[in-house]
Amino acid sequence: MPDDLERDLLDRFVRGDQDAFEAIFRQFQVEVYRWILRIVRDPSAAEDALVDAFWRAYRGRAGFQPSRGFGAWMRRIATNAALDHLRRSRKAARLIAGGDAVAAPAGADRATIESIVRAFAALPPGLRVVATLAIVEERPYSEIADALDVPVGTVKSRVFRAVRILREELARQGIHP
């Protein structure tokens, strides 16, 4: 529950006060950027999605309830902005070079790392974001569920499906995890 000063700031934000919006942006931009970066795995894309997320928050401010926390609401918006970016980048068939998109197993050679990166990139965006947050970032299922605004059981199901698809794709490439 926000304190009185924070609640006043959030009330002003909902009413469209530009100074309040700027104060909220300064307060949350680093946290939101880090959240988006966990999903998109590309600093430049994360910056673009950050701007998009805060623009969406400003446009949707009337739907925000100042009595609730801003962070969780903003994470949902940021997750949607990041997912939209992943969908766009998938259509463009871009692959993050250098194997830095996912954490590779210790001792994995470059070919294995590239295979893992390709397997992650081939996942549908909805599964990729859950797999990245759960497997690579090791975020708790409850946090992922909150950010995606879905039940924890849905997160577990999506992680299960993503792992199955990843294993099938890696097996197809001759890698048996």
**pTM listed for this prediction:** 0.65
pLDDT tens column, 12-52? 999 999 899 999 999 999 999 999 999 888 898 899 999 99
CATH number at residue 34: 1.10.1740.10
Determine the length of the chain: 177
155: number of Cβ within 10 Å: 23
Average pLDDT in the chain: 82
Boundaries of domain holding 29: 1-94
Number of structural domains (the chain) is 2
CATH number at residue 119: 1.10.10.10
Same domain, 126 and 153: yes
pLDDT tens column, 90-105? 644 333 333 444 455 5
Beta carbons within 8 Å of 98's beta carbon, 6+ residues apart: none
Residue 60's pLDDT is 93
Same domain, 150 and 84: no
1-5, 52-56, 80-84, range with the lowest pLDDT: 1-5
Which domain-ending residue is among 59, 94, 129? 94
128: number of Cβ within 10 Å: 26
Instruction: Tell me the pLDDT band of 53, cut-offs 50, 70 and 90.
Output: very high
